Structure 1
Amino acid sequence: MLFVGDDWAEDHHDLEVQDERGQVLKRARLPEGMAGMSRFHEIVASFLPDDAQPSQVRICIETDRGPWVRALVSGGYQVFGVNPKQAARHREVLGNSGAKSDKGDAHALADMARTRGHQLAQVAVDSDVAEAVKVVTRAHQTLLWERTRHMLRLRAALRDYFPAALEAFTPLGLTSPAVLALLAKAPTPASAARLTISQISAALKGRRDIAGKAARIQQVLRSEQLGQPEVVAAAYAGAVRALVAVITTLNTEIKTLEGEVEAHFGRHPDAEIYLSQPGMGVILGARVLAEFGDATGRYVSAKARKNYAGTSPITRQSGRSKTVHARFIHNDRLVDALHLQAGCAILHDPEVRAYYDELRARDVGHNAALRQIGNRLVGILHGCLKTRTVYDRTTAWQHRHDTAAA
C-alpha cells in the first residue's frame, strides 16, 4: 500500500508519498491540470510493482470535488476527502509547535491516510446528470439570494427618500415586473405623483382588480410624505434606477435558469421518486438531489443521510449532564431546501400535518417542529431511494398508527 497526502492550492499540489511503515518515499510539487496529473501517475507507478492495482493507493485531500479529485477517483485510487478541521486536528497530534507549511500539511494528510484510513469516508462521485443538476440549481439559488440582497438595498433606499413608494408597492412585491417598471418610469416622489391611472394600469396588466389597485397606488403616491431635498432625491433616484436594472436582469436570468433546472432534473432517473415526496416540487426536488448527490453507497443508512442533512440532533453528555442540540454545522443549501419542503408538506399532506400538530401540542416551536419534520422526511426519502419506490403515505407513516394503537 502507498499513502499519499495531497495539500492542494489553486494552481499546484504539494504531495508526500509514504509506505506502510510511515517512511517518506517522495515529496513533490505538481502543477494543476493534465501535466500535474500525468506526473502524479508516474510518481505513484515508480513505487508500485507492475502487477499492483490503483486501489492499493490511498490519497488524503482536503476537498471532495473538482476536476483533480474526479480524475483521481476515475483512476481507481482510494480517495478520502477530509474536512480541513479534521486535518488540522490530526496535524496537532503530530506536533503542537503551531508551525504550518504546505509540506507539513501534505505530511499530515499522508499520515492520516495511513493511520486513520479505516475511519474516513471515501469520496463517491456522482453521475454526470446529478453534477449537471447541481450546477444549475446552485446557480439558480445564488441568483435568488442576490435578488433578495438587491431588493433589500432597494427597500432601504426608498425608505430614506421615498416612503410613499414602499407603502404603495410593497403589497405587489418590490421585485415584481410591475413595480420595477413603475420605479424605472418615476423614481422620484415628484415624478411618481404625476403618474396617471392609465400609466399605472398598464404596468399592472395581468393582475386582478387593476382599477382598484391603480387608484390606491395613485392615492398613496400623491399623499403627503416626508422626503429629501430635490437634489438629494435626484441622487437617490440614480441609485434606484441602477438597482431596478440589476433586479430586472436577475429576474430574466432566474427565469431562464429555472427552465434549465427543470430540464436537467427531468433527465435524472430518481426524479419521479423525489417529486413524489410531500411538499417537494421540481425546484426543491432538484436542490435536494443536487446536495445529496446520487453516488451509490454514500449514505450507508438513513441516519447517515440525516446527519449529513443536518436535520438530526446531536447529544452532548458528560457525567450527569446530558443535552440535545440542533446541528449548526451543515450544508446551508440543503437545510434551506428541506426547511421549505417541511413548510409545504404540512399544508398538503395530512400525516405530516398531524405530526406537526402533535409536536406543537408538546410546546415545540415552529422552526424546531419543521426541523423534526424535515428529519423524518429525509428518512422517508432514504427508504424510497433504497427500495426504488415512490412515496406512499400509508407505508411511510404506518408506524405512528401502530404506536397509537398499541
Structure 2
Amino acid sequence: MDVFCGIDWAEGHHGVTLVDDTGTLLAKCRINDDLDCYRLLLDLLVGHGDTVETPIPVAIRTSRGLLNAMLRQSPRKIYAVNPMAASRYRDRHGASRKKSDPGDALVLANIIRTDAPTHRRTDAPMHRPLPADTDLVQAVAVLARAQQDAVWNRQQVANQLRSLLREYFPAVIVAFRDKPGTLTRPDARRILAVAPTPALAAGLQMWKPTAMLRRAGRRRGIETDAERIQQLFREEAPRQLPLVEDAMGTQARALLLQLDAACEAVDDLARATEEAFRARPDAAITLSFPGIGTQAGARILGEIGDDRSRFATDGGLKAYAGSAPITQASGKRHYGGRRFVKNNQLNHVGHLWAFASLSGSAGADSHYRRRRAGGDWHMQALRHLFNRMLGRLHHCLLARAPFDEAVAFPPPAAAG
C-alpha cells in the first residue's frame, strides 16, 4: 500500500494529513516549528511505513523553509505544489468553497496520490519533486537571490533620496547625473554627507570636495571634478525656506545612512556570491558564454541547479525560465505570447544576459538584428535570443563543454 503525506504550510503551524492509495484518511495532526514537532512528524511517517528504501512522498505548498530543509535530509520526494493549483484541485471535489487547514492538507495528499509517480506507478508525472541539488548550489541560490534583492533595495532607497533632493537641492543630482551609478556612487555619497543642504554646499572650500573624492577611491580628474562641483553648488538657484531646508537636509542624512548600508550589503553579498559560484564545477562552462559575468552566472546556475535530471530537454528549461512562448488556442482563435507564470529571477537575469551578449558575440548580435528586421520589438527579440542561448547552455552543461560560437550560431551556408 502506498501512503502519501500532505502538509498545509503556515507561518506558525502546519497541518499534516496521511492517506493511502485509495484516498482513505490514515492520520492527521498539527505541528509547530520546533524540533519536537519535527520529530513527531517523522515518527508519524515511520509508523505508516516510511523507510529509507520506500520513503513516503510529501506535498507542501512551499519550496523553502526549515520544514522543507528537514524533510529533504532524507531521500524522500518533496512536491512543492503551487497554491493556485491546490485551490483549483479543491474545487474538483466541492463547489461550496469551504476551506480549512486539515482540508488543504488532505487536498495536497490527494494531488500527489493521483498526479505524481510513485515506486509502483510511473504513469502520472503531472508533478515533479524538488530537484536534488547539492548544498553548494543551494547556497549559491540563496546568496544570488539575496544580492539581487539588495541591488533592488539599493535602487529603491536611491530613488527616494533623488526624489527628496529634487525638492530642495537639485544641484547634487546635476553634479552626478552623467556618472555611472549616480547617487549610489561612493563619491556622491561622501560629498552629500558633508553638504546635505545648499547652504552648507555653497560654503565648501576647494579642499573639501577634493578630499571627499580621494576618500571615495577616485584617482583621476579629481581637481577638475572638485572645481566643477564647487561651481554648481555656488550657482544661484531657487531655495526652500531656511528651516524647511534644514529639515529636508536631516531627512536626506537619514536616507543617506540607509543608502550607505544598502551599498555595503550589495558589495558584501557580491563577494560572497562570487566566491561560492567559482567553487562550482559548472562555473567555467557558464562563464564561457558571452554576456555572462560572475553575478549573472551565479544567478542563472543558482536557479537552474546542478540536478541535471531536472530538465530532460531544453524545452522544459525554457518554459521554466519564461523564454519559450505559450500557445492559447480555442476554436478559430490562436494566440502565441509570452509566459506570465515563470521563474521571475531567472527571467530577469536572462534579459540582462541577452542584452550583454550583443556586444560579446557576433552571432548573437546578428540573430537579434534579424529578429528586429522580421518585425519583433526590442523585448521580443531579446526574449528570443535568451531562449536560444538558454538551449545552448542546457546542451553545454549536459555535454560538459564550453560555449562555441561557430556551433551556437553557424553561418547561413552551413546552416542551410
1:340 alignment counterpart: 352
Q: CA deviation at 1:69?
A: 2.2
Q: CA deviation at 1:401?
A: 4.9
Q: CA deviation at 1:202?
A: 2.4
2:56 alignment counterpart: 57
Mapping 1:60-139, distance limit 5 Å: 60-117=59-116, 118=124, 119-139=126-146
1:194 alignment counterpart: 203
Question: Aligned partners of 2:42 and 2:339: how far apart in 1?
Answer: 40
Q: What secondary structure does 2:26 align onto?
A: strand
Question: Aligned partners of 1:16 and 1:400: how far apart in 2?
Answer: 59
Question: Aligned partners of 1:170 and 1:84: how far apart in 2?
Answer: 44
* Compared CA separation, residues 90 and 399, structure 1 to 2 (3 A): farther
Question: Aligned partners of 1:229 and 1:178: how far apart in 2?
Answer: 28
Question: Aligned partners of 1:136 and 1:243: how far apart in 2?
Answer: 25
1:234 alignment counterpart: 246
Q: What secondary structure does 1:93 align onto?
A: coil
Alignment length, in residue pairs?
402
Is the 2:308–2:398 Cα contact (8 Å) retained in structure 1? no
Q: Which runs of 5+ in 1 are unaligned?
A: none
The AA in structure 2 aligned to 1:376 is R
1:387 aligned to 2:399?
Answer: yes
2:36 alignment counterpart: 35
- Which among 296, 301, 307 is matched to residue 295 of structure 1? 307
Mapping 1:19-34, distance limit 5 Å: 19-34=20-35
Q: CA deviation at 1:46?
A: 2.5
Of 348-357 and 63-72, more deviation after overlay is shown by: 63-72
1:363 alignment counterpart: 375
Q: Deviations over 1:74-105 (max 9, x none)?
A: 32323211111111100011111011100110
Is the 2:363–2:409 Cα contact (8 Å) retained in structure 1? yes
1:255 aligned to 2:262?
Answer: no
Q: CA deviation at 1:207?
A: 4.7
Q: CA deviation at 1:24?
A: 0.9
* Compared CA separation, residues 401 and 73, structure 1 to 2 (3 A): farther
1:168 alignment counterpart: 175
The AA in structure 2 aligned to 1:79 is I
Question: Aligned partners of 1:6 and 1:130: how far apart in 2?
Answer: 26
Q: What secondary structure does 1:323 align onto?
A: strand
- Which among 179, 184, 189 is matched to residue 193 of structure 2? 184
Q: What secondary structure does 2:92 align onto?
A: helix
Question: Aligned partners of 1:214 and 1:73: how far apart in 2?
Answer: 57
* Compared CA separation, residues 218 and 272, structure 1 to 2 (3 A): same
Is the 1:61–1:82 Cα contact (8 Å) retained in structure 2? yes
Is the 2:136–2:276 Cα contact (8 Å) retained in structure 1? yes
Q: CA deviation at 1:275?
A: 0.7
Q: Deviations over 1:210-263 (max 9, x none)?
A: 333223222222222122101100000001111112212222232222211111
* Compared CA separation, residues 128 and 53, structure 1 to 2 (3 A): closer
Is the 1:2–1:57 Cα contact (8 Å) retained in structure 2? yes
Q: What secondary structure does 2:340 align onto?
A: coil
Question: Aligned partners of 2:302 and 2:411: how far apart in 1?
Answer: 30
Question: Aligned partners of 1:328 and 1:399: how far apart in 2?
Answer: 34
The AA in structure 2 aligned to 1:88 is S
* Compared CA separation, residues 225 and 116, structure 1 to 2 (3 A): same
Of 290-299 and 206-215, more deviation after overlay is shown by: 206-215
TM-score, structure 2 as length reference: 0.92
Question: Aligned partners of 2:231 and 2:410: how far apart in 1?
Answer: 57
2:46 alignment counterpart: 45
Q: CA deviation at 1:53?
A: 5.7
Q: CA deviation at 1:332?
A: 2.3
Of 210-219 and 387-396, more deviation after overlay is shown by: 210-219
Q: Which has the higher helix share?
A: 1
Q: What secondary structure does 2:4 align onto?
A: strand
TM-score, structure 1 as length reference: 0.94
Q: Deviations over 1:286-332 (max 9, x none)?
A: 11111111123111110100111111111111111111111122222
Q: CA deviation at 1:366?
A: 1.5
1:6 alignment counterpart: 7
Question: Aligned partners of 2:177 and 2:90: how far apart in 1?
Answer: 53
- Which among 201, 210, 223 is matched to residue 211 of structure 1? 223
Is the 1:2–1:19 Cα contact (8 Å) retained in structure 2? yes
Is the 1:5–1:15 Cα contact (8 Å) retained in structure 2? yes
Q: What secondary structure does 2:410 align onto?
A: helix
**Aligned alpha-carbon RMSD (Å):** 1.8
Identity %: 35
* Compared CA separation, residues 183 and 126, structure 1 to 2 (3 A): same
Question: Aligned partners of 2:189 and 2:100: how far apart in 1?
Answer: 52
Of 394-403 and 5-14, more deviation after overlay is shown by: 394-403
Q: Which runs of 5+ in 2 are unaligned?
A: 117-123
Q: What secondary structure does 1:74 align onto?
A: coil
Q: What secondary structure does 2:184 align onto?
A: coil
Question: Aligned partners of 1:129 and 1:156: how far apart in 2?
Answer: 41
Question: Aligned partners of 2:48 and 2:203: how far apart in 1?
Answer: 81
* Compared CA separation, residues 260 and 401, structure 1 to 2 (3 A): farther
